[in-house]
Structure 1
Amino acid sequence: MAPPPKKSRPKLMLPSARFQRSFIAAMEEFAAEGRCGDDSMIGKDMERFGPSWRTPEGFAAFLAKLAAVRHTPPHEKFVCSTTWWWTEGDEFIGRIAVRHELNARLLEAGGHIGYDVRRSRRREGHATRMLAAVLPKARKLGIGRVLITCHPENVASRRVIEANGGVFEDQRADLLRFWIPEG
């Protein structure tokens, strides 16, 4: 009897059509949580692109948008950002985006990094490992200290940030602000 296939380790990947089926399944999990149209990157992407993700052309347009914003902000209120997907084999587990700089809005709410893990893969340590994996990429983009925010009731996200060296600075409006020092 052959040994079971070796399971791949999760890793950061640039968004790819290879993950379309799993990505759509993950977005259905986020939609079931009421995320479509909320004030997050996933919520906004679901609202804008969700109906077209099932076609190869629609998914390609979404991937092109993610690639373009690495070099050109979509409009004057935004900054360049790079999105990576946290994947295992052909499975989309989550996404993490690094904003290349902070504008006044992001300094107050949003910070440099935002991340999401699909519901079916939460509580497995993915967010902590995903953030740890992206910090060197943020440094290569020239970001020294990294600002990350979360809602006070999001204890899991706070633990992820603190596990990666985040130091609480203050609360502004309804968000806690943490800085991960250079290094």
Structure 2
Amino acid sequence: MPRLVPPSTDVHASFLAAMAEFRAEGRGAPDDASAIGRDLRAHGDAWRDPAVFARHVAALRADALPETPRPEGFVPSTTLWYVEGEEFLGRLDIRHELNDWLLERGGHIGYDVRPAARRRGHATAMLRAALPVAASLGIDRALVTCDVGNEPSRRVIQACGGVYEDTRKGKLRHWIPTAG
């Protein structure tokens, strides 16, 4: 049964395969502002080295701590990976607070399912499983956004209780209560 877990070196091989899938669909291009896009540009093939991958995992885990240094404009964020055994299926970030950019575009929660695992309900299961985690971080209502043309993501958000508020800068903005 797939589950959300903290990043782990246990899924190294599957993670690399998933990143190759994302790269094959164009992720990591200079205009890809997503977490996966930034990570692909920053680490790319260096992840093949187990020590580099272990440092990446440690950095993702540390990013949840308020005292961890981070780039300007970034907030503490809990990263969780969706795995089944040692198979990496996707990733999800819960941003602990909203800055101006996140309020307009990024939201509290962002998620990606690897291409080979899509259309199986994983995104909906991931988002549902993340809501109690967000509640434990003090987030009563989570802002979750998607691109205007991303109908599958809009359906995921609404299936998890998302209530549409408005559209800003090409993003549909939905609020989801985090407590059941």
- TM-score after normalising by structure 2: 0.95
Q: Alignment identity in percent? A: 56
- What is aligned with 2:38? 44
Instruction: Count the aligned residue pairs.
Output: 175
2:15 is aligned with 1:23: yes
- Do 2:81 and 2:90's aligned partners in 1 also have CA atoms closer than 8 Å? yes
What RMSD, in angstroms, separates the aligned Cα atoms of the two structures?
A: 0.9
Using the alignment, how far apart are the partners of 1:159 and 1:131 within structure 2? Answer: 12
- What is aligned with 1:101? 97
The CA deviation string for residues 66-87 of structure 1, in whole angstroms up to 9 with x for no partner, is 0121112512311000100000
- What is aligned with 2:59? 65
Using the alignment, how far apart are the partners of 1:148 and 1:76 within structure 2? Answer: 22
Using the alignment, how far apart are the partners of 1:179 and 1:73 within structure 2? Answer: 29
Paired AA for residue 46 in structure 2: S
- What is aligned with 1:126? 122
- Do 1:73 and 1:80's aligned partners in 2 also have CA atoms closer than 8 Å? no
Using the alignment, how far apart are the partners of 1:108 and 1:181 within structure 2? Answer: 18
Paired AA for residue 165 in structure 1: G
Using the alignment, how far apart are the partners of 1:66 and 1:144 within structure 2? Answer: 24
Where 2:27 maps in the other structure, the secondary structure is coil
Structure 1, unaligned runs of 5 or more: 1-8
The equivalences for 1:1-183 within 5 A come to 9-37=1-29, 38-71=32-65, 72-183=68-179
Where 1:165 maps in the other structure, the secondary structure is coil
State the 1:48 CA deviation: 0.5
The CA deviation string for residues 83-130 of structure 1, in whole angstroms up to 9 with x for no partner, is 000001110000001000001110001000000001111000000000
- What is aligned with 1:4? none
State the 1:152 CA deviation: 1.2
State the 1:182 CA deviation: 4.6
Where 2:48 maps in the other structure, the secondary structure is coil
